[in-house]
Amino acid sequence: MTTPDPALTKALQQVREVGYVLSHDWPHRGITARELGLNEGASSVRLPDDVQLHDLNYLQNSLPDQLSVQLLDYIDSTNSELIRRHTKSGGADHLILTEYQSAGRGRRGKVWLGDYGRNIAMTMGIEFPLTLNALGGLSSVVGLALLQALELEGVDSQLKWPNDVWVKEQKLAGILVELVPTKTGTLAVVGIGVNVDLTNAQASKIDQSVTSLRRLGASISRDDLVVAVCTSLLKNFDAYSRDGFAPFLEAFDSAHCLQDQAAILVLGGESQEGIVRGVDITGGLRIEQNGVTRVVTSGEVSLRPAATEEPQ
Ligand code: BTN
């Protein structure tokens, strides 16, 4: 979906403004009200009482001036939208947020699911005056920024290399960083999805163990978390632009849920066991096998604890 359906856009705008739309104004084709988790009454479609939509004014006033902010009621994927925008008018220093993604993208070609108005789906575009291969470890730097923002809210989470955010062996958030070469360097398209209030209906469609901030008892609003995450990202990007991944090595190793533990690497369909021995300066994972340590890169492998059976 690159062209939003005008009828759905109009219906959702009305839901945003007055909390409901008459059923006969809901489009007959495309995404259903039920798919979005809206309440369908006899004659109207309503926003559930416990859904608090993003507030663009609040976000614009709270976020650093450096960022231009765009809020969409729905889109296929905020990463795809930022890349499309970049080809037209530039994507640097821009933040896209949406209430719902109809085709959210995860790593390794997976889909990323979420409910309308209940989770965070955001993409920040940041340009680095560096070539693509000089950006090693960037996705882990994003993971650390997310962890730092969550920690301020009392949520104790861990990273699984390169950048999955886990709490007690359940996935809380995911990160998809895509790199686009530009005339002067590289645009990093930094996509972040956080399960804030994932419904059981969505959770049951996800092929791995997941959790959400509400299930963990955290009550922070989505807007405040977006502000905390963006602030933390911009701070980390400053340090990364100056000094690369080196200042983050220690923080990553102590946040890594598999540090010094046995893990299974799935490399081109083949599984191998090794001990995780931290990350290196390029952001690669150091794995010890039979007394020898080698470095693997995130494009090559997926990683899971040695005790689990299913790839995560
Ligand atoms: C993963 O863990 O597989 C990465 C998930 C990344 C999801 C986010 S949601 C916002 C942004 N837009 C996308 O299409 N994906 C990322």
Query: Is the CB of 107 inside a 6 Å radius of any atom of ligand 1?
Result: yes
Query: Is the CB of 195 inside a 6 Å radius of any atom of ligand 1?
Result: no
Ligand 1 centre to CA of 22 (Å) is: 32
Task: Indicate the top mutation candidate among 105, 146, 303, 304 to test ligand 1's pocket, ranked by most ligand atoms within 8 A of CB.
Answer: 105
Residues paired with residue 126 on neighbouring β-strands, in sequence order? 188
Q: pLDDT tens track of the chain, all 312 residues?
A: 567 788 999 999 999 999 999 999 999 888 899 989 999 999 999 999 999 999 999 999 999 999 999 999 999 999 999 999 999 999 999 999 999 999 999 988 899 999 999 999 999 999 999 999 999 999 999 999 999 999 998 999 999 998 899 998 899 999 999 999 999 999 999 999 999 999 898 888 988 899 999 999 999 999 999 999 999 999 999 999 999 999 999 999 999 999 999 999 888 778 889 999 999 999 999 999 999 999 998 765 678 887 654 444
Residue 28, pLDDT score:
85
Residue 270, pLDDT score:
84
Count of C-beta atoms within a 10 Å radius of residue 151: 14
The three-class DSSP label of residue 125 is strand
Rg (CA), the chain: 20
Position 67: which residue type?
A: L
Q: Is 180 in contact with 83 (CB distance < 8 Å)?
A: yes
Residue 108, pLDDT score:
83
Ligand 1 centre to CA of 104 (Å) is: 6
Catalytic residues: 107, 171, 304
- The length of the chain in residues reads 312
Domain 258-305: CATH class, spelled out: mainly beta
Residue 297, pLDDT score:
86
Ligand 1 centre to CA of 44 (Å) is: 32
Residue among 140, 168, 139 at smallest CA distance from 250: 140
Extract the runs of DSSP E, i.e. beta strands, from the chain. 20-22, 39-40, 44-46, 68-72, 94-98, 120-128, 158-160, 164-167, 170-181, 186-194, 262-267, 270-279, 285-289, 292-296, 301-305
Structure letter (DSSP) for residue 95 = E
- C-alpha triplet 208, 212, 218: angle, nearest 5°: 155
Ligand 1 centre to CA of 39 (Å) is: 26
Q: State pLDDT tens for residues 188-200.
A: 999 999 999 998 9
Annotated domain spans of the chain: 6-46, 56-253, 258-305
Task: Indicate the top mutation candidate among 1, 115, 142, 192 to test ligand 1's pocket, ranked by most ligand atoms within 8 A of CB.
Answer: 192
Ligand 1 centre to CA of 289 (Å) is: 32
Residue among 286, 304, 310, 298 at smallest CA distance from 163: 298
Q: State pLDDT tens for residues 55-103.
A: 999 999 999 999 999 999 999 999 999 999 999 999 999 999 999 999 9
Residues paired with residue 263 on neighbouring β-strands, in sequence order? 274, 305
Query: Is the CB of 123 inside a 6 Å radius of any atom of ligand 1?
Result: yes
Position 156: which residue type?
A: D
Identify the CATH assignment for 56-253 out of 3.90.950.20, 1.20.58.100, 3.40.50.300, 3.30.930.10.
3.30.930.10
Query: Is the CB of 79 inside a 6 Å radius of any atom of ligand 1?
Result: yes
